[in-house]
Amino acid sequence: MSRELAKTYDPKGIEVRLYEKWENKGYFHAQVNRDKKPFTIVMPPPNITGKLHMGHALDNTMQDILIRYKRMQGYEALWQPGMDHAAIATEVKVTNALKGKGIDKLAIGREKFLEYCWDWREEYGRAIINQLKKLGSSADWERERFTMDRGCSEAVEEVFCRLYEKGYIYRGSRIINWCPSCQTSLSDAEVEHEEQEGSFWHIKYPIEGEEGRFVEIATTRPETLLGDTAVAVNPEDDRYRDLVGKMLLLPLTDRKIPVIADEYVDREFGTGCVKITPAHDPNDFEVGRRHQLEEINILNDDATLNDRCGKYAGMDRYEARRAMVEDLDRLGLLVKVVPHTHAVGTHDRCHTTVEPMIKPQWFVRMKEMGKEALDSFHRGEMRFVPENYGKTYEHWLENIKDWCISRQLWWGHRIPAYYCQDCGRIVVRRGGAPEICPQCKGRHFVQDEDTLDTWFSSALWPFATLGWPKETPELDYFYPTDVLVTGYDIIFFWVIRMMFSALEQTGKAPFHHVLIHGLVRDDQGRKMSKSLGNGIDPLEIIDRYGADALRLTLITGNAPGNDMRFYIERVENSRNFANKVWNASRFILMNLDGVSLHEPASSELKIEDRWIKSRLNTVVKELTDNMERYELGIAVQKVFDFIWDEFCDWYIEIVKPRMYHKEQDPDSANAALYTLKGVLAEALKLLHPFMPFITEEIYCSLRPEEKSIMIADWPVYSAQACDPEAEQALEHAMDLVRAVRNVRTQMDVPNSRKSKLIIVSQDAGIREIFSQNQTTYAGLANASEVCVQADESGIGSDAVSAVIPDAVIYMPLADLVDLTKEKERLTREQKRLEGELKRSHGMLSNERFLSNAPADKVAAERDKLAKYEQMMADVTARLKSIEEGLSV
């Protein structure tokens, strides 16, 4: 027996209840089950400092759609969730929180500070998980992981030691991104480039022994002059060929630096002379290594100038810049200052301008692992959706540099390197400090103070979360994972690192597909940000409209890789769709109340029953194909259109009279109700991955004997269920109803007024369709009587017409309609058809179109032309008839 639905759809009243039901029943949990195929998605771990934003909402909605779909298809579907410790972000948050309490991080020391960090993780780390649950995320929370839990930490230590033992991890001095405020190295992912107003300072460097002769350089950072160790020119630049090898007097210092030749210099840019500061510019660093130049670091960690800078020592970098420019100008060495807007790297957390700086750090050598990640991609072991993002992947790997993995932070995975206090030997090992130094036999060790880049641990996420380095059943069964869902802005920072880490440690690519989505932008197309104040809180949308409405909005029209704009009007439309589904379902359930249904014989099915079942079957095939290709936006539009247009607006309206006259024709009523119930149930299954809450509530009311739609079987296409005859018949009937309604609307005919319909067609097959299926369309077309004939005999001149493909409909409404207005309407239709004919003739006379367009498109255009020509002939004839009637 079906259950009644509430009168109005109230998301708040059902979403929390249903989510608790799913979670308590264990429907999200996946287990190793050799009788089923596995399907695995690993959730990009949100930060413990995070708050759900629209990007999270889109990313997790897409993952949930896929995992619910595969679960219903019978896969053992695991959506592996977890959180990231977000080292630098968390450290900044906790440090600032302590400052607010008057507590200094350095004063309390490392161990106490880490206690506060773990407290933070417990207090705030759960927030975003709870927010994801509000979205309907059906992740396996029983398997939730954290990048600093015991298992993940063991995996991090194991990978570090393996790479070190293989020679892929080393400690050395190279250029890194340095944040003077947080006083740590940064990954490229933590550096944002923003346009800033600056200047080019043009400075003269005197040539030793040649009084009055100079080379002119231009720089955006004059303070780094103190770290210059050469000036470079292009070896093919004739202007400076004689200077190569000569020495320059470095301004404001007592040092001399050489002029060198290097192809790095663009002779067309600026003066063609480039100052080389190996310790403070990544390009200069490479030039310096090629020419074995000295590397002079002029900065302290807080971006003040160090004791190698003479009178400028102790000054802030910008204070020193002003002082040095004044001194250069006084000495006559400042040529000019040219305003210049350029991209400046800033720390994404504290927004401090980042300094490129040479410092001793831990690095991963990327040449070998980068090549394997590229080769694996070329072998087709991992593919991007859409495919064009493979070019981005290739570009990054072909230009990859060694990766700085050490951070000067306390929160994070501490580097498992230990320094012998007696001889300085570095020992990298698992499980803590060694008891004895292998070199000097000393017993005093100090662990490296640095922690690892957060990306180092998240690079292991797909396999570490499944138990690696242990050989667990989960790792053997669920790995490699099937699809990673992520944004295009993180391909290099995370996707590539997961690829080379997984290939190196497991020998397998970590996922088969990477589904790339774009950004969610505001209604003006701008990126949502705190500075613009244009962010929209997904939780507020859920509270106001429901999670299903938000999910439907995010996925409708969404194409892989493309950005989307977020409009409140679209959310309202999604809510209206939810209301439509709810009200239609409630109507069906009310009519099922107290009714005992049985499966009708095929002979008892009306043409509309056969049509809706055939259309459902087609939608099942098309939507499933779209889902397999990750075309989620196209898939949801298919089920949206089917439910709203074909099921609700057509089928339900067609069968209402049969439902209302159960006593007169119980077999017909049974067939209608049985079909309504069955088609609604299958349509709800198709909709469930996109709108899980409303579909669960309706489905369990429609079929209370079933536990949940979540574990119901996904609909399967059957070629035998196709019914082209029924689809053709209903297509003609719908064309007729639309045409009649349009005419009646244009003529402002009241709905209560019925009219005789005379359907004229020269095609016997069309006449047969309209004759046999009058009950399908008569009520919807407000017909008092229907006549189907081969010609216009017996039709009065006062009849109003509507032209449809293969037929003309006449309605004797001369007493209701002004024939002059009818003539005006037909004249407008004639003009419209003239335009269509001109366009179609133009395309079919275009040789380029005929030779380049697909054959089916050319054929379709020819069919259109034939249709328009027939419609024009009918309209012309009807105009002639109207004019004759008016002249009487």
**Beta strand 191-206 with 334-347: parallel, antiparallel or unpaired?**
antiparallel
Integer-rounded Cα Rg, in Å, for the chain is: 37
- pLDDT at site 815: 46
221 backbone dihedrals φ, ψ, rounded to 5°: -135, 80
Domains of the chain by start residue, with CATH: 184-356 (3.90.740.10), 545-722 (1.10.730.10), 727-887 (no CATH)
Q: What is the pLDDT of residues 165-174, one digit of tens each?
A: 999 999 999 9
pLDDT at 300: 95
Q: pLDDT per residue over 626-651, tens digit each? A: 999 999 999 999 999 999 999 999 99
pLDDT at residue 324 above 50? yes
* 530 known ligand binder: yes
Q: What's residue 504's pLDDT?
A: 98
Distance of alpha carbon 348 from alpha carbon 192, whole angstroms = 6
Q: Which of 13-17, 174-178, 659-663, 692-696 has the lowest mean pLDDT?
A: 659-663
User: Is the distance from CB of 58 to CB of 15 less than 8 angstroms?
Assistant: no
Q: Which two tokens stand for residue 537?
A: 């809180």
Please determine, for residue 541, whether its predicted confidence score (pLDDT) is greater than 70.
Answer: yes
pLDDT above 90 covers a percentage of the chain that reads 76
Q: How does residue 531 score in pLDDT terms, banded at 50, 70 and 90?
A: low
Whether 223 and 317 have beta carbons less than 8 Å apart is answered as: yes
- pLDDT tier, 544 (very low <50, low <70, confident <90, very high otherwise): very high
Percentage of the chain beyond pLDDT 70 is 98
Stretch 159-165: mean pLDDT, rounded? Answer: 98
Q: How far apart are alpha carbons 56 and 516 in whole angstroms?
A: 13
The whole-number pLDDT of residue 327 equals 96
pLDDT of residue 888: 47
Stretch 306-314: mean pLDDT, rounded?
95
Distance CA 445, CA 418 (A): 6
103-136 pLDDT, tens digit each: 999 999 999 999 999 999 988 888 889 999 999 9
Please determine, for residue 860, whether its predicted confidence score (pLDDT) is greater than 60.
Answer: yes
What local confidence, expressed as pLDDT, does residue 812 receive?
79
CA distances from 825 to 233, 770, 797, 799, 888 (A): 78, 25, 16, 13, 20
CA angle 131, 132, 133 (to 5 degrees): 90
Confidence band of 2 (pLDDT split at 50, 70, 90): low
Arithmetic mean of pLDDT, 231-239: 93
* Secondary structure (3-state) at 714: coil
Of 230, 246, 248, the C-alpha closest to 284 is: 230
Q: What is the pLDDT of residue 530?
A: 67
Average pLDDT, the chain: 92
Strand ordering across the sheet containing 355-364: 184-186, 169-179, 355-364, 403-404
pLDDT, position 351: 83
Task: Tokens 């009084």: give the residue.
Answer: 211
Q: What CA–CA distance (Å, rounded) separates 352 from 185?
A: 13
Phi, psi of 290 (to 5 degrees): -65, -35
Phi-psi group of 471: left, alpha or beta (phi > 0 → left; psi -120 to 50 → alpha; rest → beta):
beta
Q: What is the pLDDT of residues 760-789, one digit of tens each?
A: 999 999 999 999 999 999 999 989 899 999
